[in-house]
Amino acid sequence: MKNFKYILLCLTIFSLVACQEDLLETIPNDRISKEIFWKTLEDLEYASNAVYPSLDGTNIFYFDGITDQLMTNHPFNSNTDIQRGFGTIASGKFYSEWQNAYRGIRRANDFMDNVDLVEEDDQEAINRFKGEVMTLRAYIYLKLIMLYGDVPLITSGIDIEGGRTITRTPIVEIWDFIEDELSQAADWLPYENNGRIDKGAALALKARAMLYAQRYNEAAEAAKEVMDSGVFSLYPDYFNLFQYEGENNSEVILAREFAVDVNAHNIYSSVAPWSQTSGSSGSLYVPTKAIIDAYPMANGLAIEDPESGFDPYNPYDNRDPRLKQSVFLTGITPLPDGGTYGSIPGTDGSDAVQITVYSTASGFNVRKYVDAADYSNPSNSGLNIMLIRYAEVLLTYAEAKIELGELDETVYAAINEVRQRESVMLPSVTSEQASTQESLRSIVRNERQIELAFEGFRLFDIRRWKIAEDVMPGVPLGMQYVDGDGNLIQISLDGFDRSFDPERDYLWPIPNRERELNTALTQNTGW
């Protein structure tokens, strides 16, 4: 009887399953399935949103922090190893940038692999989302090749075995890919400037990429298209450009967006003067004398020019206004707490050199992105981080034209538009002052250095200009000050010798962990 009941129960279950053929084909409830996703435009928006976090954020300071402009101020921070030439194939930064980049690429590829499954009949909207993701993917690849050189070009999903055998793609092919992707994206995208990737971002990124690739004609053409669009213009106040007051203004082409309490960052607590961080460390990256000296006098002359009027005993008087708008210098007021910045060693200044292990070692602090609104909660900043702005486009256009040898009036106009921002107003550069390719090259390179200071460009600029071995090695210098006896004293950061091996350091190594997983990945020279 028991066996009969058991057989009857089995037959009943079998008949129920036979009547419900899809009973074992249920949709997973622990993740989004293709059975229910990739159907609507809303799905595309969500999927494209997942790629946006791959944009750079506060790490732009890291890139400048291993150049001649900034130094990593905390000696126990692992970033100092790279500045001093002690980085290895196992260094965490080399791996984290690679890992984050390919995580973003995987998300972008997943989007591109599935976007055409959407059933809605709005091809214009679908193409717009495609253009956004293609631009984001190009942004990631641009950074990858500037850091590592040849890298695997992956444009669709791959399985585990594919990841173990993929090889590095020649850099020229990746430049071709970036150019094609951004050209197509720009065709699909409108000018909207609403916080998402738009036509201006695609074209401006193309201009940057082609400049870095030394495809100067394409760089100039893409930059000129942005300039001629009439959509973007310089924000009049350079200081407020990097404060809450200046967010989402007409100069911003692309920014990584943040929000207090929701999606915040800690750039204030990282770079603000120690006295202004409410017990946080502060001063993680501090400016060096090299960047301070790059700012000309208000009359436009370099400080080393005997006619400039530069006074080493009053080094910050009558300088390019962007200096005080970008850097905290002794005597600057107000600090976020309303006080005065004081860094002269041995004084009672709240940020005197060596007053704490966290205080500035150079006598300078970064002022960009330090907004008084973040003073009360320094690790909860919602300031957007600028990634592409119109001033860069103008300087890209000027540099590309200079490298092409096309020294026409549009070159001077682009440079002067940046120099004569309402809050800056340096004298114009004229053809009488600079008429050769070499003289204009020097001007535009210095203009990039000071206009784009602390925005993540310097590392890539000194690499592509092949000047890193000239500007990087040696002991970084800080401020000069007058002691009690009237002597001019130079702060030197002895014991922190920076090095740069031109046979090795123009590229980062392929991370050791990646090569352990995939032996087909070759290593860069010298690592």
Q: What is the pLDDT of residue 408?
A: 97
Q: Who wins on pLDDT, 34 or 25?
A: 34
* Dist. CA 401–CA 412, nearest whole Å: 10
Q: Residue 477's beta-bridge partner residues?
A: 492
Quote the mean pLDDT of the chain: 92
For the residues 10-15, what does the mean pLDDT come to?
Answer: 44
Q: Residue 506's beta-bridge partner residues?
A: none
Q: ∠ CA(71), CA(74), CA(75), 5° rounding?
A: 95
Contact 343, 383 (CB under 8 A): no
Confidence of residue 10 (pLDDT cuts 50, 70, 90): very low
DSSP secondary structure string, 256-289?
E--BTTTB-B-HHHHHS-GGGSTTS---SEEE-H
Q: What is the pLDDT of residues 317-349, one digit of tens each?
A: 999 999 999 999 999 889 999 999 999 998 878
Tell me the CA distances in angstroms from 334 to 174, 371, 464, one per residue in order: 47, 11, 38
Dihedral angle, C-alpha 510, 516, 520, 523, nearest 10 ° = 30
Say how far residue 44 (Cα) sits from the centre of its chain.
26
Confidence of residue 31 (pLDDT cuts 50, 70, 90): low
- Statement: residue 29 has pLDDT above 80: no
Q: Tally Cβ neighbours within 10 Å of residue 513.
A: 14
In this structure, what token pair is assigned to residue 8? 């009857």
- Statement: residue 5 has pLDDT above 50: no
- Statement: residue 67 has pLDDT above 80: yes
For the residues 208-220, what does the mean pLDDT come to?
Answer: 98
For the residues 471-490, what does the mean pLDDT come to?
Answer: 94
- Statement: residue 49 has pLDDT above 70: yes
CA neighbours closer than 13 Å in the CB half-sphere of residue 138: 30
Q: What is the pLDDT of residues 260-279, one digit of tens each?
A: 999 999 999 999 999 999 76
Confidence of residue 355 (pLDDT cuts 50, 70, 90): confident
In this structure, what token pair is assigned to residue 173? 């092919």
* Dist. CA 52–CA 464, nearest whole Å: 27
Contact 89, 512 (CB under 8 A): yes
Q: What SS3 class is residue 240?
A: helix
Contact 304, 283 (CB under 8 A): no
Which helix (DSSP H) or strand (DSSP E) does residue 478 occupy?
Answer: strand 477-482
Q: Who wins on pLDDT, 189 or 163?
A: 189
Place of tokens 């040849």: 150
* Dist. CA 414–CA 417, nearest whole Å: 5
Report the chain's terminal Cα–Cα distance, integer Å: 77
Q: Residue 259's beta-bridge partner residues?
A: 263
Q: What SS3 class is residue 341?
A: coil
Domains in the chain, CATH or no CATH each: 41-63+80-231+507-517 (1.25.40.390)
Q: What is the pLDDT of residues 362-396, one digit of tens each?
A: 999 999 999 999 999 999 999 999 999 999 999 99
Q: What is the pLDDT of residues 286-321, one digit of tens each?
A: 999 999 999 999 999 999 999 999 999 999 999 999
- Statement: residue 19 has pLDDT above 90: no
In this structure, what token pair is assigned to residue 187? 């065709």
Q: Which residues contact 521 (CB under 8 A, 6 or more apart)?
A: 152, 166, 167, 168, 510, 514, 515
- Statement: residue 8 has pLDDT above 50: no
DSSP secondary structure string, 131-178?
HHHHHHHHHHHHHHHHHHSSB----S---HHHHHH--PBPHHHHHHHH
Q: 28-37, 83-92, 154-163, 219-228: lowest mean pLDDT where?
A: 28-37
Q: Tally Cβ neighbours within 10 Å of residue 164.
A: 13
Q: 109-113, 194-198, 237-241: lowest mean pLDDT where?
A: 194-198
Q: What is the pLDDT of residue 14?
A: 44
Phi and psi, residue 308, nearest 5°: -75, -25
Q: Which residues contact 395 (CB under 8 A, 6 or more apart)?
A: 414, 415, 418, 444, 447, 448, 451, 452
- Statement: residue 124 has pLDDT above 60: yes
DSSP secondary structure string, 39-50?
SSHHHHHHHHHT
* Dist. CA 105–CA 151, nearest whole Å: 12
Q: What is the pLDDT of residue 350?
A: 81
Q: What SS3 class is residue 376?
A: coil
- Statement: residue 7 has pLDDT above 70: no
Q: Which residues contact 167 (CB under 8 A, 6 or more apart)?
A: 152, 520, 521, 522
* Dist. CA 353–CA 356, nearest whole Å: 8
Place of tokens 């990282």: 270
Q: Who wins on pLDDT, 431 or 2?
A: 431
* Dist. CA 458–CA 468, nearest whole Å: 10
* Dist. CA 126–CA 134, nearest whole Å: 12
Place of tokens 């967010």: 247
